[in-house]
Amino acid sequence: MTRIPVGYKKVKPNVPWFEARKNVNIYLLQKVGSALMAGDPQLVDTENLILDVPVIYSLPETGLIGTVGKIYVKADTTELLLDVSDSKEQIHANAERTYQEKTLSSKR
């Protein structure tokens, strides 16, 4: 029999964080590209419950390239709050620049 310490409280996983990350991953895969993934969300606006989810660029042959953008998510609804800075063109441009910087620095 498993004993549960006094005062122990089972805590559910933080579903909004998980769902936010999942929704960003779906968006990235369907609309932007398969070499991108959502990072760990951070709460940036406690009043409006806004999460900042970093967009991470990674390739099989080189591994993690770096963070190339961010997407804001409404934590209570897990709705993506997209604007111009989150556009797929901007994320692609950031990914290309970050890749060039990484490959140039690794050749030195």
The Cα 4–Cα 95 span in angstroms is 48
Domain that holds residue 54: 15-106
Amino acid at the residue 45: D
The answer to whether position 9 is within a domain reads no
Is the pLDDT assigned to residue 9 strictly greater than 70?
Answer: no
The answer to whether position 3 is within a domain reads no
pLDDT 10s digits, 92-104? 999 999 999 887 7
Return the pLDDT at 3. 45
The answer to whether position 10 is within a domain reads no
Residue 59's pLDDT band, with cuts at 50, 70 and 90, is: very high
The answer to whether position 21 is within a domain reads yes
The answer to whether position 63 is within a domain reads yes
The answer to whether position 1 is within a domain reads no
Amino acid at the residue 33: G
CATH of the domain at 40: 3.10.450
Q: Is the Cβ–Cβ distance between 69 and 55 less than 8 Å?
A: yes
> Does 99 or 7 have the greater pLDDT score?
99
